Structure 1
Amino acid sequence: MPLVTAGIVSLVLAYMLSQFYRAFLAVMSPVLQDQLGATPGDLALSSGLWFIAFALMQIPVGQALDRYGPRRTCALMLALGGGGGATVFALATAPWHLHVALTLLGIGCAPVLMASYYILAREYPASAFGTLAGAVVGFGSLGNILGAAPLVWVIEAIDWRPTLWLLVAITLGVALMIARTVRDPARLGDDQPKGSLREILALRALWFILPLLAVNYAAAGAIRGLWAAPWLDQVFSADPRTIGNATLAMGLAMVLGNFLVGPAARIIGSLRRTILLFTAATIAVMAAMWLVPQPSLGLAVTLLALVGVSGAAYPLLMAHGRSFLPPHLVGRGVTFLNMFSIGGVGAMQFASRPVYYAAEAAYPPAQAFSMLWLFFLIPLVVGFLFYFRTPEARPDARPDA
């Protein structure tokens, strides 16, 4: 099967939208606060609802991928949830409307990456999964970039509501493209077992991957999608354009990280050691952000970029977990793993809201955000320590196989 097909391209475009929708609140926070009265806490709740809705849909998405295939599952959910959520956002007049919109957007975006991974896992060699998964995330993460400075430019040019109506049209167009171009993998034979969640939970090799998977993306995802803009605004008095450029730098770094993890794993020759290396780097950067509450603006942007690069181990964690899944568990298995990852981000975003409010009441802005960085750092260290107990990937799934 060729590496690039029209169907894969359409799914990557859908994942670009997913990355955009999970991150665009960061640069829209000033205008949403001004026109809708949405506070950073409101936006933390809205953003958390995106991740929670996304995570809760993973089990039914896995069942739908196995039963109906990625084409129908992804096209229908993106059109109804994604298009519907963007419509509600465009019509919003109060903060709670954003909660509804982001919940619908989370549902609509829930199948897009897993549809790609399902096709990669079923149609390509296991040893190539990590690199291909990283490439999909890397190209899809361009949506993260579009949700930074380019979004600021568009909003400045046409205002935010017309921008959202444009996004409605784009989302529906991508859903139609998926329906027209994606080809479902061949169905497994009737002699194959159907698989269940109990079987997945019985795979002991996954037990020590899951804690790190639940927190690995939480810091980068939450900071880029939510806390970067308030930090730059309140601690550095940055204007919207500066915030857009800083989040653009972090978005570019996240794209770069996703393209680096595959080659790094091949050079190192081990998914496990590569994941440990990238996670250790994230821990070091987050520790620096905690210990240096008010760096210079240039150093702050550099630290954000380093979090983006080092926090890109997600495709390798998925590849490591996927290596232990038998064929009949691929659909349910990869979505179960993704549920832990995205659910962890959502839970951390929800929890970050009271942490931030408590720290804000007790400390000046710089120290309050320092406490927030510590909140993200501690679970990452715990997940990192658990991961040391994880066995190496199966031989046929290793990057040098």
Structure 2
Amino acid sequence: MKVGIAFLVAGYVLSQFYRACLAVLAPTLGTEIGAAPGDLAVSLGLWYAGFALMQLPVGAALDRIGPRRTVSVLLLLGGGGGAAVFALATGPWGVHLAMLLIGIGCAPVLMGGYYIFARMYAPAVFGTLAGAMIGVGSLGNLAGSTPLAWVIGAAGWRQTLWGLAAITALVAAAIWRFTRDPARAERAPGASGSVLGLLRIPGLWAILPLMAVNYVAAAGLRGVWAGPYLTQIYGADTAAIGKATLVMGLAMVAGNFLYGPADKLFGSHKRVVFGGNAVLAAILATLWLAPDAGLWQATALMAGAGFFGATFPAIMAHGRSFFPAHLVGRGVTLLNLFSIGGVGVLQFASRPVYEAAAARGTETQAFSALFLFFLVPLVGGLLIYLFARDKGEATH
């Protein structure tokens, strides 16, 4: 099982890489196939849309057939196949299709690991394990920064994507070979067996809005907007973008490792989640008010957004405390649906917000509007989260 978990983590490294690579690829794709920043925002939105739409089917599959077949088949066909489509792209629509397929392929990877953690380990360590998997998986974020820029320069972007298609296929095959499914949980007599049963849990409703918006800014900046922002405001080239996104990626790795066990230190999921997102809101407000304060300041603020915006495992652990054992698969994927769905919807919306602001004013004003767009829903989610219960009762 340890070997199987290791390959699930490797699959999640690929998932993080694919959602982060467009920021570094942006200048090359613009020159080679005419993909503008707005096009790539749509491509990233399609990645998240495909990922989100698969969450409920993936949750049912995890509960019914387990993570081995669910993860390996989708990662091979969607992830490996999508990378091949990307390598063949001749215009923005090719990138759109590729990212949609890759999002579908990556959809079950993290949740497969979380399902194993929830079914085979004590609830008290779920947050630590969840944060560690994201922390190690975030190495994909790092690989999608300076290392990716170097490989593209040395081998070309199409050859790089063909190599990624092969690596993805090999990881999927290893998951099929080494992962072992936990024993199925039996449903208690009279207990609901569907996701509707989860939606009847009152404690979740104050958590879901923040889950839908907490990752939006970090994902949008790291995935697409960091590249255009640094290029158009500061004249940064691919190497400079790679360095800035590497710093942000390192901050995201550190945040995921620290948020996981933080609930033990503070004795509360809620205090950790609220405090981290409140700092994130302050960072976004600073970027909104002064988007052109300087390259190093911008890099530091984006790194701060990556660090303090890494509350996903802490919110997941908070929500996990409400789930009965037989609905763990559906529960974690429901939370992930809100998280990834929120990112996808708002990523789509970020393009017209930016373009409308750019048409009315300067590039500085356009990015200021973009940061405000990321800030407002986060503040709304935080206000609702104030009413969340700190711990659920269904920890068995």
TM score, norm. by length of structure 2: 0.98
Once the 2 structures are TM-superposed, how far is the Cα of residue 267 of structure 1 from its aligned partner? 1.4
Q: Deviations over 1:290-316 (max 9, x none)?
A: 011211111110001000000011001
Q: Distance in 2 between matches of 1:50 and 1:75?
A: 18
2:44 is the counterpart of 1:47: yes
Aligned residue among 349, 352, 362 for 1:351: 349
Which amino acid letter does the alignment assign opposite residue 57 of structure 1? M
Once the 2 structures are TM-superposed, how far is the Cα of residue 366 of structure 1 from its aligned partner? 1.3
Contact 1:324 1:393 (8 Å CA) reproduced: yes
Aligned counterpart, 1:70: 67
Contact 1:127 1:396 (8 Å CA) reproduced: no
* Runs of 5+ consecutive residues of structure 1 not aligned to the other structure: none
Aligned counterpart, 1:175: 172
Contact 2:48 2:344 (8 Å CA) reproduced: yes
Aligned residue among 92, 115, 119 for 2:116: 119
Aligned residue among 354, 361, 364 for 1:363: 361
Once the 2 structures are TM-superposed, how far is the Cα of residue 95 of structure 1 from its aligned partner? 0.8
Aligned counterpart, 1:251: 249
Which amino acid letter does the alignment assign opposite residue 196 of structure 1? S
Aligned residue among 338, 361, 381 for 1:340: 338
Once the 2 structures are TM-superposed, how far is the Cα of residue 195 of structure 1 from its aligned partner? 1.2
Q: Which moved more, 1:12-21 or 1:190-199?
A: 190-199
Aligned residue among 132, 138, 148 for 2:145: 148
1:314-393 map, 5 Å: 314-393=312-391
Once the 2 structures are TM-superposed, how far is the Cα of residue 210 of structure 1 from its aligned partner? 0.4
Q: Distance in 2 between matches of 1:237 and 1:151?
A: 20
Aligned counterpart, 1:261: 259
Contact 2:135 2:257 (8 Å CA) reproduced: yes
- SS of the residue aligned with 1:153? helix
Once the 2 structures are TM-superposed, how far is the Cα of residue 191 of structure 1 from its aligned partner? 5.6
Q: Distance in 1 between matches of 2:355 and 2:109?
A: 34
Aligned counterpart, 1:232: 230
* Runs of 5+ consecutive residues of structure 2 not aligned to the other structure: none
Detail structure 1 runs of 4+ shifted over 6 Å in the superposition: none
2:101 is the counterpart of 1:100: no
Once the 2 structures are TM-superposed, how far is the Cα of residue 265 of structure 1 from its aligned partner? 1.9
Percent sequence identity is: 58
Which amino acid letter does the alignment assign opposite residue 61 of structure 1? V
Which amino acid letter does the alignment assign opposite residue 152 of structure 2? I
Q: Deviations over 1:74-101 (max 9, x none)?
A: 0000000001100000011111011100
Once the 2 structures are TM-superposed, how far is the Cα of residue 262 of structure 1 from its aligned partner? 2.4
Aligned counterpart, 2:311: 313
2:201 is the counterpart of 1:203: yes
Contact 1:59 1:339 (8 Å CA) reproduced: yes
Q: Which moved more, 1:361-370 or 1:54-63?
A: 361-370
Q: Distance in 2 between matches of 1:191 and 1:205?
A: 21
TM score, norm. by length of structure 1: 0.96
Q: Deviations over 1:229-254 (max 9, x none)?
A: 00000000001100000000000000
Which amino acid letter does the alignment assign opposite residue 25 of structure 2? M
Aligned residue among 56, 81, 84 for 1:84: 81
Q: Which moved more, 1:194-203 or 1:304-313?
A: 194-203
Once the 2 structures are TM-superposed, how far is the Cα of residue 188 of structure 1 from its aligned partner? 2.1
Q: Distance in 2 between matches of 1:396 and 1:248?
A: 39
Contact 1:194 1:328 (8 Å CA) reproduced: no
Q: Distance in 2 between matches of 1:233 and 1:370?
A: 15
Which amino acid letter does the alignment assign opposite residue 351 of structure 1? A
Which amino acid letter does the alignment assign opposite residue 70 of structure 1? P
Which amino acid letter does the alignment assign opposite residue 206 of structure 1? L
Q: Distance in 1 between matches of 2:393 and 2:284?
A: 33
Q: Distance in 1 between matches of 2:131 and 2:57?
A: 24
Aligned counterpart, 1:289: 287
Contact 1:126 1:396 (8 Å CA) reproduced: no
Q: How many residues align?
A: 394
Q: Deviations over 1:37-92 (max 9, x none)?
A: 00111101100000011000000000111111100000000000001100000011
Once the 2 structures are TM-superposed, how far is the Cα of residue 187 of structure 1 from its aligned partner? 1.5
- SS of the residue aligned with 2:242? helix
Once the 2 structures are TM-superposed, how far is the Cα of residue 190 of structure 1 from its aligned partner? 6.7
Q: Distance in 2 between matches of 1:191 and 1:338?
A: 25
- SS of the residue aligned with 2:29? helix
Which amino acid letter does the alignment assign opposite residue 273 of structure 1? R
- SS of the residue aligned with 2:272? helix
Q: Deviations over 1:312-337 (max 9, x none)?
A: 11001011001000111101111011
Which amino acid letter does the alignment assign opposite residue 259 of structure 2? V
